[in-house]
Structure 1
Amino acid sequence: MHSHLSTDIIQLIDQLKKENYKTVIDFPNEEQNFSIKWLNGEIVLFIQTENQHFILHRLYPLHQIDDADVDKIKVNKKKPNQYEFDLRTAVGSLTISITIIENSSNLFLLNTQITLKVSKEHRFKKPDREIVIGKEDYSKPDEPTINVHQIEGRTGHCFTDFGNRSRGYLFYLQDLGALQKMAEHSEVSFMDTVKVEWPQVGFKLGQTKSTLQQGEEYIVYNSFLGYSNEKDKSPSKASAVYLQFLKSAYPNLQKPRKSIPDIVDLSSKVTHDLWEHKGCWKQVEDAAYLNAYLNSYENPPESMVQLAILRPLFEYQQYFGNDQSSKIIRNLTQNLPQFFDEQLDIIHRWLPADSYLLNFDEEQKRSFIMDSWYLLYPLLQLASLFELGFKNEELQNQFERSLRYIQKAAKHFEYEWPIFFNLYTLEILKEKGIPNEYGEIDTAGLYILIMLKSYKLFKKEVYLTEAKRAAKPLKDINLESIYQSNNTAYSAEALLELYTLTQNEQYLQSAEIFLGNIIRNCAIWEMKYGNAKERESFFSLLPLKKAPYIAAFEEHETVAIFHRIIKLIDQNQISLNLDLVFFLNEFIQYALLRFTSYFPPTLPDEVFADEAKTGYVNPKLWIPIEDLGDGWEALGQVGQEVYGSSVFFNLCIHHVVHLSEDNYMISSLPFIQNRAKEIKILGTTDQEGLLWLKEKNITVEINNQKLEEKKQYQIKGSDNIKFISKR
């Protein structure tokens, strides 16, 4: 098993094979055999697994530990499941804490935290990943199926099996949020630091620019290492096991305190700037359209941009609207029909009257080229508007005519949508994307939802039949099946809607995989180095499978979809995986906390890039920044995302209840409103959240208990809450 391993690791394994080691600690444990050993001058954690493998966790491989120092190790049992000991090295003293988090027949999880108090200034270097997998007979481990590893700034996690011939799964997570002081002082990025390089797994830093300072104390590791003996290797089971591990580790991760911003007030700032600032709009002939980016006039207006604002704003208007939001809705509604092609019976991506501006500098910038999701997204938003009671005969006629085109295209593509195709001939121009591993697998969900909404709107069985046909290819999805995060969420919603109509378990199973893939595409760590110190980042969602930054549009759409899913499973008593339900709610809660960070007025001027790729950034405007990336990168390098401006509209729709003319409540958790002033909180029973009141002039009763008057209350999933007006 020595191929692709460093000399140090080869020597470690050889010494282990020769039993040339000293056992420092044997952990009393019935389910799992593990111990700490002094091996080849290193302190290592040794785990014997039930599938004839072993795991070596090199606790601090940077400096050799003398035999004499090993004999001085004293282990303190802090808690029944926690052990701690100290070590001295040439650069400082280490405190190593090992906590057994899960220890059952089907799940084993350890947390290892290593703190370094620096006695000698030095650069922190780590040449190898710290986890080594071996077989009991010391032969080379089989190549695994690597289901998950960190891409760009996602969670610092790995999840893999042990190859086709062995049962079991391996889980690893480095809590990058706990290591922020080290990143800040070392001037190092945590992007792409956690990988599987079989048979090695773990955390490996890039080049550091600065040193760890003498006298300072740093957490240099806070990792979670787990093993499951599960033999089922189906995507559904793999996803469920991953979520089990993540749920067990999650309470121990470093997180920011939850809080609730006044999203109603913030939404009015957005409607003001969206309507009043000329940089948000472009005049073409006698009509005005929203730009994709602030002050971006070089491209034609896009139908997707208009409907990304219109659909949430129309629903927002019913409860929170003002004169400015009313004007935006009227303007968008009046001018949307200009995107329709009378010859093809489709809604174009680019405004036909302005399409001469397309300069071919990007592959999709041609009037005859269509990106599949750009074809379907506007139609889905129109269908949703009609469901909400939106009335416009011209747009409804265009919508119905477009249905014929997309049905023809779907059949032509056999319900597997390419990235780019020719609008006129349906010739596939780009089937897959970089890195040539995936096409628009989740665009099918948009099509299914359009068919289901058309079935409800027009009462025609053909649309339900078409939705079922389109869902068939989705039975083969796996943990790699994600193209664009909000579209993946739409796919899960579509499959759950189909499940309520058919009770076909395959739809539920595929929906759970899609939802798990969204959670795995998140960054579940708190970035607080570089300019990221100025914003909240915990539990961010990346927009694509491979993307260097998070973006407002994909995130706020996913929040809205998660709300609808949580209400759907409650109303229809769907037995969705409870770990999934928990994480959907956690994403929602931290999104509520984080989303203000997209808006320039909440950030210091010095964090912005000098130039934007598209348009320019106005730090005074309540229009979201497109790109929040690594803490060492300037913000706004892409531009200010007008089409993402529905952030607070969607949050208000799902988080706010008006209690009186001058008072409203905001819940961090989803809820259903039973009566005018009574709500039921949705989520798992162990899920904690917050409830915030604009004014304290109302009595709050939780589960029939009246509480003292204050502005903020702790709540839990399944709580029943009444708001009683004072007389």
Structure 2
Amino acid sequence: MKKQKDNVSPWSLHLTQQLLSQAASVVTEKQLSNRTVQVIRTDDALAVCVHQAKGTKLVFRAAYTPAADLTIAHSRSAGAELSYTLRSAIGRYRVVIWMDTIQQVPMLRYVTHFTPRDDFRIPFWPKDVLILNPDGGIGGVEANIHVEQLGLRSGMVYFSITEPAEGSALYLQNLTALNNYCADTGTSVAGTVDGKWPEFGFAPPATTDKPLCGGKEYTIGDAFVAFADRVPTDQFDKAKQFTDLLAGLYVQLPKPPTAYHDYVGIAAKALQELATHKGCWSHHQGHSYLNAYVCDYKTPPEIMVQLAVLLPLKEYEEWMGEDVPLIAEIEAGLPEFYDANVGTVRRWLPAADHQLDGSEEQKQVLVMDSWYLHHPLLNLSRMALHGDEVAKDLFLKSLDYAIQVAHHFDYKWPVFYKMDTLEVVKAETKPGAGGEKDVGGIYAHVMLQAWDLTGDDKYLREAKKAAKSLVSVGFDLFYQANNTAFAAGAMLRLWKATKDEVYLDLGYLLMANVFKNLALWDCRYGYGNHFPLFFAVFPLNDAPYMAVYEEVEVFAAVHEYLSQADDTPLSRSYALLLAEFIRYALHRMVHYYPTVLPREMLANDVKTGEIDPNLWVPLEDINPGWDKSGSVGQEVYGAAFPFAVIPRHYMKIAGGAYLLFVDYPIAERAAENRELRFKVLGDERLSCKLYILRSGTGESLDITVSAAQQGGIKPQTVGGDTVCYEVHGKQHVVISW
């Protein structure tokens, strides 16, 4: 929670004086729930002023001209929408304002289009939101900023006003609308939205290198605002309010279309190349190990890398119904990661310790990254619960050490420590920020898995202690996306086991942390044209790029969370946003492959290993916008993502003669005779795509699709051997043939 009130500029002072002067004229006045909304023209701005009786005033600067000669040439009012055409010496503006109350949430949207008179650069533009006191002046207002944009994440500010009247709001800038502006001027929307009040929000990026084109219309702002009448009482209330406001705005937000990708065909190619490409493998003492990155022979094998590929492969093998020989080859080397002297599996293969060069903190013998101890244990436990005896043995032998570490650090893990002495190597991610805050959640997940495997209640007690330690952390729990998402599922399981509401609240809090690290916009400038960014999750809380492994792990964790939540009173807002994340992840993840990207997008210099642009192994890092991608390396441990997709989204019809693909998460699958039943998750306000694909050579089937709320559904598109249907969320579906 931040309290910043030193962001007063000459532009905010000037607008304040203008609004109080006779130069201001009220163009339109309307009611938005219990708020009065006035559209006011001044010499240099068109402002939307929103205020409650005896409350603060929120001023949204929809249009601005430094020429101070703004005039309204035309205006129109139609229902909930107002539109204005304005003129200035520098060009023409079109402003569209929409306001309505949707499901008891007052919402405002204002879109600003600008056509410059001539080619020119914009070295500065003021922010578009100003908080004023009830008398219309600056000062005497207390506000807390809970969330604001970092880098290329969503352009949002979530804030509360505590004095003189209480209330909260979520401001979300639709950064997708700025693509033409950025493409023509060579700029980026990174960091263009901030929460340094009283003057905050969005300003178009400065155009220092390339000008706007005279006579061409640009969108220079598209802001959504959702209002609430109360201030959240604690971090749990904050998480729920933030998510509810975000889901409400998301329904109104323009969303890019999605496309179907042939994951079955991609998986076949990826499996073949993973098995045969020499750059994916290294060999030690008679065993074969996957490299972390293609052609990375300097770094020792890592257990996380082996398990990151092995676990999805085993899921894929079960779906296929036939053996995948690669599984046995990977699994044969797993026991070599166990160190009997320490009493746990280690990150690096002990036999290859001599390859650790100390170039990074974690590349030292017996130095452990806190999350890294637990992540392999989690994957081992997932395999063990599916009957893998090798994984079960390694998992159970490592548990006592994990508990010892948790007790030593009192469930507050540092970043790095020595495995033998537990000496802290690095305590905090950065000064004052604390250690890896979400590790308590993944540790709790590991303990719950141990409880499931053994039935020993000591593991349940450990899970509860670790979970309770998260309560004191506050709203900011996110360290690494996949761990935060898996931790949310653990909290839901704890709630189901104990019915203690604090665990349900912790699950919501952890997922809200994932939501604030999303990119709810689509980049279409620079190299962003080749990567669908919309709804991508960033791997770390300060990462500047997207990463396939963390994203596919979040994908798997969200599926697990929703499967746990199907028989619980899951918040409608969470159900909606999580289903939409899955839909856009399925649309996006294929674009991590260099095989589908233009060569000029690939980095010239690679930190680890090499990039083979013809290999079906994804890049680790995608940089939306102007920077090239793949500078970290080509990520072998991210290569299993199609194997994770297929069992969760494809179902076989008529013995595999047809395949069914749904781009939303589903539950309650049941097949009987010539019928397939399942429940589509999500929310009824939004829809997903259901595809029926002919994959065999047998006779054609007459397949019908019906749903509980929609009845019989007619196909939207038919192309070749593929039929597509649009299905609303949150309903049961029946496929008959």
Asked if residue 703 in structure 1 is aligned to residue 702 in structure 2, the reply is no
Q: Describe the SS at the equivalent of 2:688.
A: strand
The residue aligned with 1:669 is: 664
> Which residue type is aligned with residue 295 of structure 1?
C
Per the alignment, do residues 37 and 687 of structure 1 end up closer, same or farther by CA in structure 2, a change over 3 Å counting? closer
Indicate which of 494, 500, 513 corresponds to 2:496: 500
| Residues 103 and 109, structure 1, Cα contact 8 Å, conserved in 2 | yes
Q: Distance in 2 between matches of 1:665 and 1:351?
A: 41
Worse-matched range after superposition: 229-238 or 271-280: 229-238
CA distance in structure 1 between the aligned counterparts of 2:5 and 2:581, rounded to whole angstroms: 42
Moved over 6 A (4+): none
Structure 1 contact 379–399 (Cα < 8 Å) conserved: yes
Q: Kindly indicate whether residue 534 of structure 2 is the aligned counterpart of residue 534 of structure 1.
A: no
The answer to whether the 8 A contact 2:142-2:164 is kept is: no
Secondary structure of residue in 2 paired with 1:58: strand
Whichever residue aligns with residue 397 of structure 2, its letter is R
Contact map agreement 2:368 2:418 (CA 8 A) in 1: yes
Equivalent residue letter for 1:639? G
Q: What does residue range 76-225 of structure 1 map to in structure 2 within 5 Å? A: 76-78=76-78, 80-102=79-101, 107-137=105-135, 138=137, 140-142=139-141, 144-163=143-162, 166-208=165-207, 209-225=209-225
Change (3 A) 1:683 1:226: closer
**Counterparts of 1:589 and 1:722, CA distance in 2:** 20
Does the CA-based 8 Å contact 1:31-1:103 persist in structure 2? Answer: no
Mark the runs of 5 or more structure 2 residues left unpaired by the alignment.
695-699
Q: Which of 510, 529, 532 pairs up with 1:514?
A: 510
TM-score (norm 1): 0.94
Counterpart check, 1:368 vs 2:366: yes
Aligned-residue offset at 1:227: 2.9
Contact 2:153 2:520 in 1 (8 A): yes
Percent identity, aligned pairs only, is 30
Cα distance in 2 for residues equivalent to 1:520 and 1:182: 25
Report the CA distance shift for 1:479/1:674 in structure 2 as closer, same or farther (over 3 A).
Answer: same
Tell me the distance in 2 between the aligned counterparts of 1:435 and 1:322: 52
**1:580 alignment partner, one of 574, 579, 590:** 574
Shift of 1:503: 0.6
Pick which of 709-718 and 656-665 moved more. Answer: 709-718
Q: Give the SS at the match of 1:27.
A: strand
Deviation at 1:216, TM superposition (A): 1.7
Alignment of 1:271-282 (within 5 A): 271-282=271-282
Q: Aligned partners of 1:484 and 1:698: how far apart in 2?
A: 47
Higher alpha-carbon deviation: 619-628 or 241-250: 241-250
2:735 aligned partner: 723
State how 1:20-31 maps to structure 2 within 5 Å: 21-29=24-32, 31=34
TM-score, length-normalised on structure 2? 0.93
* 2:339 paired with 1:341: yes
- Which residue of structure 1 aligns with residue 285 of structure 2? 285
> What amino acid is aligned across from residue 451 of structure 2 in structure 1?
Y
Corresponding position of 1:58: 61
> Partner letter of residue 528 of structure 1?
R
Question: In the superposition, relative to structure 1, how do residues 635 and 181 fare at CA in structure 2: closer, same or farther (>3 Å)?
Answer: same
Q: Distance in 1 between matches of 2:101 and 2:661?
A: 35
Please state how far the C-alpha of 1:27 moved relative to its aligned partner: 2.3
Output the CA distance in 1 between the equivalents of 2:5 and 2:475: 30
Using the alignment, how far apart are the partners of 2:63 and 2:636 within structure 1? 48
Superposition pairs for residues 558-707 of structure 1, below 5 Å? 558-570=554-566, 573-659=567-653, 660-672=655-667, 673-675=669-671, 677-695=676-694, 697-703=701-707, 705-707=711-713
> Deviation string for 1:77-99 (max 9, x for gaps)?
13x10000100122321110000
Which residue of 2 is the match for residue 483 of structure 1? Answer: 479
Alignment of 1:296-335 (within 5 A): 296-320=296-320, 326-335=324-333
- Give the aligned partner of residue 5 of structure 1: 8
Of 344, 350, 354, the match for 1:352:
350
Give per-residue Cα distances to partners, 1:436-489, cap 9 Å, x unaligned: 424211111221121111111112121112111211112234331100011001
Paired with 1:50 and 1:454, the residues of 2 have a C-alpha distance of 56
| Conserved? CA contact 1:541–1:550, under 8 Å | yes
- For the residues of structure 1 that align with 2:393 and 2:314, how far apart are their CA atoms? 19
CA distance in 1, matches of 2:589, 2:216: 33
Equivalent-residue separation in structure 2 for 1:348 and 1:425 (angstroms): 15
Instruction: Deviation per CA, 1:190-237: give whole Å up to 9, x if none.
Output: 111111121111113444221221232211110113332213332222
Structure 1: how far apart are the matches of 2:199 and 2:221? 17
Change (3 A) 1:108 1:359: same
| Aligned position for 2:257 | 257
Matched residues in 1 for 2:54 and 2:153: separation? 30
Q: Which amino acid aligns with 1:181?
A: N
Structure-2 residue corresponding to 1:48: 51
Asked if the contact 1:63/1:90 (under 8 Å) is kept, the reply is no
Question: Structure 2 CA distance, aligned partners of 1:343 and 1:179?
Answer: 57
Given the alignment, which residue of 410, 428, 432 partners 1:432? 428
Distance 2:330 2:109 in 1: 53
> How far does residue 617 in structure 1 lie from its aligned partner after superposition?
1.1
Q: CA separation in 2, counterparts of 1:174 and 1:13?
A: 23
AA aligned opposite 2:531 = R
1:310, 1:329 within 8 Å by CA — same for their partners in 2? yes
Cα pair 1:478 1:513 within 8 Å, conserved: no
| Cα shift at 1:431 | 2.1
Assess if the C-alpha contact under 8 Å between 2:130 and 2:200 holds in 1.
yes
Which one-letter code corresponds to 1:674 in the other structure?
Answer: A
Distance 1:48 1:73, change over 3 A: farther
Q: 1:128 to 1:321 in 2, by over 3 A?
A: farther
Task: Quote the Cα distance in structure 1 between the aligned partners of 2:317 and 2:702.
Answer: 25
> Mean alpha-carbon deviation: is it higher for 417-426 or for 585-594?
417-426
1:513 counterpart letter in structure 2: L
RMSD: 2.1
Tell me, yes or no, if the aligned pair for 2:378 and 2:445 is still in contact at 8 Å.
yes
Are the aligned partners of 2:63 and 2:95 in contact in 1 as well (CA < 8 Å)? no
Contact 2:111 2:222 in 1 (8 A): yes
User: CA separation of 1:5/1:542 partners in 2, compared to 1, >3 Å: closer, same or farther?
Assistant: same
* Contact kept? 1:177, 1:253, Cα under 8 Å: no
Q: Secondary structure at the match of 1:694?
A: strand
Q: Do structure 1's residue 466 and structure 2's residue 465 form an aligned pair?
A: no
Contact 1:340–1:347 (CA under 8 A) maintained in structure 2: yes
Whole-Å separation in 2 of the counterparts to 1:103 and 1:715: 23
Give the letter for the 1:363 counterpart.
E
Instruction: Report how far residue 281 of structure 1 moved.
Output: 0.7
**Number of residue pairs matched by the alignment:** 714
